[in-house]
Each structure stands twice: as structure tokens, then as C-alpha cells.
Amino acid sequence: MAVSRKKAAFIRSLYLKKYRKLEQCFIVEGAKSVQELLASDFEVVLLLATKEFRAKTKLPNTAEMLEVTANELASLGEYQSNDSALAVARIETFSDLEIAPDEFALVLDDIRDPGNLGTIIRTADWFGIKKVVASEETADFYNPKVIASTMGSFTRCKISYTDLATYLKNKMGMRMFGAFLDGKDVHTVDFGSGGLIVIGNESRGISSELAGFITDRITIPKYGKAESLNAAMATGIICDNLRRR
């Protein structure tokens, strides 16, 4: 069955944040990400899949499903290489994430780049971190570029957007780790069993408004001449060290 003009327009509208917010839906593209979506608790409302994808994938019986060609998928999505599936799913929102004393969570201070955010989510999933608290200026978790960059990890990490100054003020008593040039060498830090890992903005780092809440200033020592580290790369290094100990 061909995709109607109305459905095509609906799908394309979801690449814009204002329509995702209005419809409370988001797009997932590609075989790997769609399979992860189908195996998750997200509600899938529409699935476009090629004959080949349908033959090798367990499909839900609750979502509207249309069989399409690879060319049709390419015309509807952002990724020309997607020749398998595209899904529309319901957005899940979390107003507050409770962080247990013995778990780690990420706090994102104005991460603007969708690719960076997606890679950070994927990194968090790799290291078993399931909760992310983000500033209201951080890129939209449901941006298709973020979803694609997570490679399916968006199904296992929960994210909450909030005013971080208020949030951290209410979490006084928890250990809060943040990277600064004058911090303690991350390779020697005892992270303990839990805490908040604050990741700063790509260009300016952790804001002065949040810096006062940091209980443990850490640094990733530099041995070469690079000016700075990518925020997602820095997240990976910090997470590796907190799990190593």
C-alpha cells in the first residue's frame, strides 16, 4: 500500500521540534534502531517497512503497518541509506528522575549538538547509566539525529529536562563530579558507588551558575597539543574511569 500524501506530510512534519511537541510523536529510521524500538516499551503508532525487513523481524500487531519500497523510505526520511524501515512512536516524558544513592546519572549542561547528545546517550548505555538530566537548552532527545546517533540506546536511557540550578540545589548531599582544568586527575579519583556526572557545554564547559554545586572537580590530563576534547569523548573517558574503580 502506497503512503498517502497526508501520512507523508505527517511523517515529514516530525523532523521539526514544534510538530513533535504538538503530535507527541517522533521518528526512528533504519533497521537496527527500529528493531530496538519494537523490542522496547515505546508505543509504536506507524511502521513503514520493506518486504525484506518484515520477513526477518517480529512485528507488532498494535501499530498501523505499511509495506513500502526502499525508494519510498528514502523519499520520506532524512537518511538515503535507510532501505529497511521507518517508525513513528509516542514520546515518553519524565518530569523527575529519582537517582538512588548507589547509582550514577549524567547531568548535561547545555549540550547543543544533536550528534553529541546521541553519542553521550549511547555511551551512557554502554556503561550502564540509565538516567540523564538535561538543561532546558540541551538538544531535543527526540530529534531524529539524536535518535540515529544513539544506535538504539534511546530505548534504554530515560531523560528529563529541567532547570539545572534548581535541580542541583535540591540534590545537595550527593557527590557531583565535573570536569575543570584545575581538577583532580580523573585516573586517580575514587568515584564511590554513585553520584551525578555533570557534562559541560561543548565550547564553554560547565557554566559558572552550576560550578558552585560541584563537589568533586576532576580533569582529564592532556598529553598532546589538542585544544579540547569533544563532550561525548570526555563523557566516555569519565564513565570508563568511574566503572574501572
Q: What is the pLDDT of residue 245?
A: 67
d(CA 165, CA 212): 10
The grid cell for 175 is 557527590
Residue 44's CATH number = 3.30.1330.30
d(CA 180, CA 239): 16
Choosing from 90, 117, 151, the residue where a domain stops is 90
Residues 224 and 113 grouped into a single domain: yes
Residues 79 and 115 grouped into a single domain: no
Domain encompassing residue 44: 5-90
3-state helix, strand, coil split of the chain in percent (to 5) is 35, 25, 40
In a domain, 239, yes or no: yes
Residues 109 and 186 grouped into a single domain: yes
Residues 220 and 128 grouped into a single domain: yes
Q: Which residue has the cell 523532523?
A: 15
Residues 129 and 212 grouped into a single domain: yes
Residues 130 and 48 grouped into a single domain: no
Helices 114-126/231-244 angle, 10° precision: 10
DSSP 142: T
Residues 219 and 144 grouped into a single domain: yes
In a domain, 96, yes or no: no
Global pTM reads 0.93
Residues 108 and 228 grouped into a single domain: yes
In a domain, 13, yes or no: yes
Residues 50 and 81 grouped into a single domain: yes
pLDDT digits (tens), the chain, 245 positions: 578 999 999 999 999 999 999 999 999 999 999 999 999 999 999 999 999 999 998 888 878 999 999 888 888 877 656 789 999 999 999 988 999 999 999 999 999 999 999 999 999 999 999 999 999 999 999 999 999 999 999 999 999 999 999 999 999 999 999 999 899 999 999 999 999 999 999 889 999 999 999 999 999 999 999 988 899 999 999 999 999 86
In a domain, 230, yes or no: yes
Q: Are 85 and 30 in contact (CB under 8 A)?
A: yes
Q: What is the pLDDT of residue 77?
A: 79
In a domain, 84, yes or no: yes
Count of domains forming the chain = 2
In a domain, 81, yes or no: yes
* Nearest of 104, 123, 86 to residue 231 by alpha carbon: 123
Q: What is the pLDDT of residue 100?
A: 94
Q: What is the pLDDT of residue 189?
A: 97
Residues 190 and 142 grouped into a single domain: yes
